[in-house]
């Protein structure tokens, strides 16, 4: 019966370690998720700053826009011939 009791103690110890380490791992994952979210936000904000703005009305223009959707001003793109 000694082996059986050792097995129970071992399994209890393993369960305890798993129970303690699980929330810690989850917290680390959440931190990584938060960092990834912040990086995505930074990327998006950088991308937004690259989007051209209408010189007449200040409307944000998409890359595909040829005319301003607000005032209809033709958009001249640099580098495009």
CB of 77 to Zn ion, least distance (A): 15
Nearer to Zn ion, 25 or 57 (CB): 57
CA–CA dist 70, 51 (Å, integer): 15
Given a contact cutoff of 8 angstroms between Cβ atoms, the answer to whether 56 and 67 are in contact is no
Nearer to Zn ion, 74 or 79 (CB): 74
Nearer to Zn ion, 7 or 67 (CB): 67
Residues that bind Zn ion (CB under 5 A): 54, 56-57, 59, 68, 70-71, 73
Half-sphere exposure of residue 31, counting CA atoms within 13 Å on the CB side?
A: 6
């Amino acid at each position: 019966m000694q082996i059986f009791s050792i097995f129970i103690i071992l399994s209890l110890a393993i369960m305890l370690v798993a129970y303690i380490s699980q929330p810690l791992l989850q917290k680390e994952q959440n931190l990584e998720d938060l960092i990834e979210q912040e990086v995505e936000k930074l990327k998006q904000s950088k991308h937004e700053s690259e989007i051209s703005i209408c010189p007449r009305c200040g409307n944000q223009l998409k890359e595909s826009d040829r005319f301003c959707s607000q005032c209809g001003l033709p958009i001249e793109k640099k580098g495009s011939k």
